[in-house]
Amino acid sequence: MATYLQQILGGLVPLLNSTVVEVTNTTSTLPQATVAPLAIPADLSSLISLLFSFSALRDWLKLIVLGSFFETCRRVIFTQYAKFVDAFHITATFDEDDPSYEWMMVWLSKQPSWAKARDIQVSTNTYGANSNTVTLEGDEDSEDYYKTSRKLAYLPSVSMTYSLWYKRRYMTITRTLQDTTGSYYATKHNILQISLLTRSHSLLIGLLQEARNEYMAAQEHKMCVWVSDVNNSWRHVGCRAKRSMNSIILEPGVKDLLLEDARDFLDSKNWYAERGIPFRRGYLLYGVPGSGKTSLIHSIAGELGLDIYIISLSRVGLDDSSLDALINELPERCVALMEDIDAAFTRTLNRDDDDSSDSGSSGSSDANKTPKISRVSLSGLLNALDGIGAQEGRILFATTNKHASLDPALCRPGRMDLHIEFRLSSKYQARELFKRFYIPSNQSEVEEEDDDETVDSGYGSTTPSEATDSTPPSPSGSKASESPISESSSLLPAPPLFFGNRHVGRAPKLSRRKVDKLAMSFSDIIPERQFSMAALQGYLMMHKTNPFVAVAGAKDWVEKELNDRNKREKEKKEKKEKAEQGKKAKQEKEAKEKEAKEKGEDKNLSPTTHQNPGERDKAIQVTPTQISS
């Protein structure tokens, strides 16, 4: 190395000497100036001595050494301090996609220290917290409910660190936003970080248990609904009030059968494990629309205390691999819901097979219809439901309106263990639905009361003087309303047009025996297995404050609905026949065009084959004459 440097210096010496000579010549005119040539060291040690002979360079080197020393000391001290602090702190991180994040947000929203915080975020999203968290002034009064019906909560602001005390221990809270990685869509989700001054994990476990208990108390009468987002992860969309099983009107024994079967499944985990059976359960609810399939699932999930995870097979970007990953991310105890599974693999927007042929009648309408084709295949769905990596412990509910159109592989035991049919309403269901409308829930629970005791349905908030008369409408009243209109009354503005009854007044106070009698009369009018429960509920909603009018108008409503149904079926049949005729005419036209095209090709190949018999005979007779001549 030294030899190499000496060679370099040897080459630089003549160049430096010539430079020094030029400088000497330019400065020779100065008086009393003696310039000596620069002595270039020939070895490395001499070069180092030369460099250190400059005072400025020595000062810079001192600063560099001192700066490096102090920076190293600073880093070592801060590293050791961070390790020392971490040794006495426990830090927990909560992601927004995890349910524990909501536990902590509910717990934080109920801490009294937030009322004294100087930098907070005010939000109406209380994460399930009840009304005793943070409310606006006047919200506690029932009269001001309609002014601000949504409660407010104080939450940590983004990128801010807060300090508070938990069981005499110092705690810091930081909420940040983090970009989602590995996704086509640029989204951000919240990260909550909590640091506790303790060396024991028991304090953190106690905090998590307390936060979970707070959350469960806030969700005691609610259930959470989750859906899959574009990032193929589960997103919490909100909480819904639990629905009572008594509000579902089905045939006797159906609700108890399904509820007891689900409870027995959830309690049989060890039994499944001992026998090597996958711990999964599937229910297929099929039948006519509006018969209560989805409502029953909602009610059962509330009774079991499980959240509902909605799996939409028609979601944009969902394929076999993403569906498998989505189902694998389900929690162990939950209700997975697949609605209208019969429409998942259809290519038309209309699930009715009879209407699919109508598209051939109008070519312009086909251009406007965009078929929605699912990217999920049947084999991918089957593997996701009971494949090797399928999630266990979940309860799967699938609904369909066409049981016969489902593949047998999808309906077999192990995937869909229990099949329940939902038919149109019976007279029993119509009677029970009528009672449900006009007997309040608090009275239905009292079984030992006197049958003649009057009950109030509880609609509206009017005074007794504004209450509806409990007597049924008399026929004379309708005739009186049909009296001729005077000339002066004809100048009055026309009454507003609306459909249905306004939500005013209370239903009349009726005895239980009277309500049972009206319910029996109503069920006698409703034909057996002709209307869905949704249709009956829609009719009773129009007369929810007057049971007498509901019974009196039931016959006309039934006749009108049946006539409209027959008319729709007739129009549908005529439309189908017209489409078939158009299709048949189109086929005949295509056949004629094809036949004419074939004849045209034959004529070009052999024109004589198209001559008349007389002309052909004449041609044959002429030929011998020409030969003899």
Does residue 278 lie in a domain region? yes
Last residue of a domain, one of 490, 525, 552: 552
d(CA 104, CA 192) in angstroms, rounded, equals 9
Question: Quick one: 418 and 431 in the same domain?
Answer: no
| Structural domain for 445, as ranges | 427-460+511-552
Residue 480 — pLDDT band, cuts 50, 70, 90? very low
Residue type, 560: K
Question: Quick one: 399 and 532 in the same domain?
Answer: no
User: How large is the average pLDDT for residues 431-455?
Assistant: 65
Residue type, 233: S
Question: Quick one: 392 and 456 in the same domain?
Answer: no
Residue-wise DSSP of 558-571? HHHHHHHHHHHHHH
The contacts of residue 15 (CB under 8 Å, 6+ apart) are none
d(CA 311, CA 397) in angstroms, rounded, equals 10
pLDDT of residue 372 exceeding 90, the answer is no
Handedness of CA 116, 119, 125, 127 (dihedral sign): negative
Question: Quick one: 252 and 164 in the same domain?
Answer: no
Does residue 468 lie in a domain region? no
DSSP 394: -
Question: Quick one: 165 and 109 in the same domain?
Answer: yes
Token pair listed for 177:
């936003």
Does residue 544 lie in a domain region? yes
Does residue 531 lie in a domain region? yes
Question: Quick one: 259 and 294 in the same domain?
Answer: yes
pLDDT digits (tens, 9 = 90+) for 496-510: 444 444 554 566 778
Last residue of a domain, one of 35, 51, 81: 81
Does residue 559 lie in a domain region? no
Does residue 506 lie in a domain region? no
**Which region among 173-182, 298-307, 525-534 has the lowest average model confidence (pLDDT)?**
173-182
Closest CA to 237 of 227, 248, 249: 227
Question: Quick one: 204 and 247 in the same domain?
Answer: no
Question: Quick one: 154 and 17 in the same domain?
Answer: no
CATH number at residue 312: 3.40.50.300
d(CA 464, CA 106) in angstroms, rounded, equals 42
pLDDT digits (tens, 9 = 90+) for 379-394: 889 989 888 878 888 9
d(CA 212, CA 107) in angstroms, rounded, equals 8
d(CA 248, CA 270) in angstroms, rounded, equals 32
pLDDT digits (tens, 9 = 90+) for 550-567: 999 999 999 999 999 999
pLDDT of residue 71 exceeding 70, the answer is yes
Question: Quick one: 306 and 403 in the same domain?
Answer: yes
pLDDT digits (tens, 9 = 90+) for 214-245: 888 888 888 889 998 888 888 888 888 899 89
Specify the pLDDT at position 439. 81
Question: Quick one: 381 and 310 in the same domain?
Answer: yes
Does residue 212 lie in a domain region? yes
Question: Quick one: 62 and 112 in the same domain?
Answer: no
Last residue of a domain, one of 500, 522, 552: 552
* Higher pLDDT pick, 540 / 110: 540
Specify the pLDDT at position 159. 80
> Could you tell me how far CA 504 lies from the centroid of its own chain?
35
Does residue 301 lie in a domain region? yes
Token pair listed for 258:
């399904």
User: To the nearest 10°, the Cα dihedral for 205, 211, 217, 218?
Assistant: -160
User: What is the count of structural domains for the chain?
Assistant: 5
pTM: 0.68
Residue 95 — pLDDT band, cuts 50, 70, 90? confident
Question: Quick one: 285 and 191 in the same domain?
Answer: no
